[in-house]
Amino acid sequence: MDRRTFLRVSMPATLVGLAGCSGGDGTPTPGATDSPTATPTDTPTESPTPTATDARTDSPTPTESRTPTDTQAPTETRTATDSPTATDTPTATARATPVPDRTVAVGPEGRVVFEPETFTIGVGDTVLWEWASGGHNVSPDDGGQPDGADWAGDDDGTFGSGHTYAYTFDTPGEYSYHCDPHQSIGMRGSFTVE
């Protein structure tokens, strides 16, 4: 006997049995006897008991869990007016395209040095660092600039040959700097702004 036949045969008997249990208030009626009566039923002996997941149906069964209906994520639609402006991108220089008063070679001839290592410039002068070899940066030492100075260097990573970085110094005093990856082997520099 297959599941569908079993369900068709057993469901009416189950429903009749449940209907008999749900009526009345539990008090005996006149003429009722306390003797049980036996009713013969057809019961398969080796068929598994079906569960709700065993029976297949052709129509969807409602579930207890709720599915959110508003699952749309907002999307950005770009238009012709959504173009970046010059203020969206920070620049590494304090002023636009300064003319250098001093040029410093970074890693000339593959060496781990700044050349010149020390120098003096005037207030308002611009220093241009030019990378002659890769894997270097320019990073101010901790406490390596006078009070009021805001020089951050070009230490957003390391750069390859041909990279340049310029900065105009407006605060007088002593400055010291280094290359982060090569500081421990002596790639350091310093200068004075008078």
Q: Which residues belong to the annotated binding site for Cu cation?
A: 136, 179, 182, 187
Beta strands in 45-172 (DSSP E): 102-106, 114-115, 118-121, 125-131, 136-140, 154-159, 164-169
Does residue 129 contact residue 147 with C-beta atoms inside 8 Å?
no
**Phi and psi at residue 168, in whole multiples of 5°?**
-100, 125
Q: In a 10 Å sphere around its CB, with 0-12 CB exposed, 13-18 middle and 19+ buried, how is residue 190 labelled? A: middle
| Residues 134, 158 contacting (CB under 8 angstroms) | yes
Secondary structure class of 109 (helix, strand, coil): helix
* Binding site residue list: 136, 179, 182, 187
DSSP letter for 138, please: E
Task: Compute how many other C-beta atoms are within 10 angstroms of the C-beta atom of residue 12.
Answer: 9
Neighbouring CB atoms inside 10 A of 175's CB total 21
**What is the chain's Cα-based Rg?**
44
Q: Specify which residues 129 forms β-bridges with.
A: 104, 165
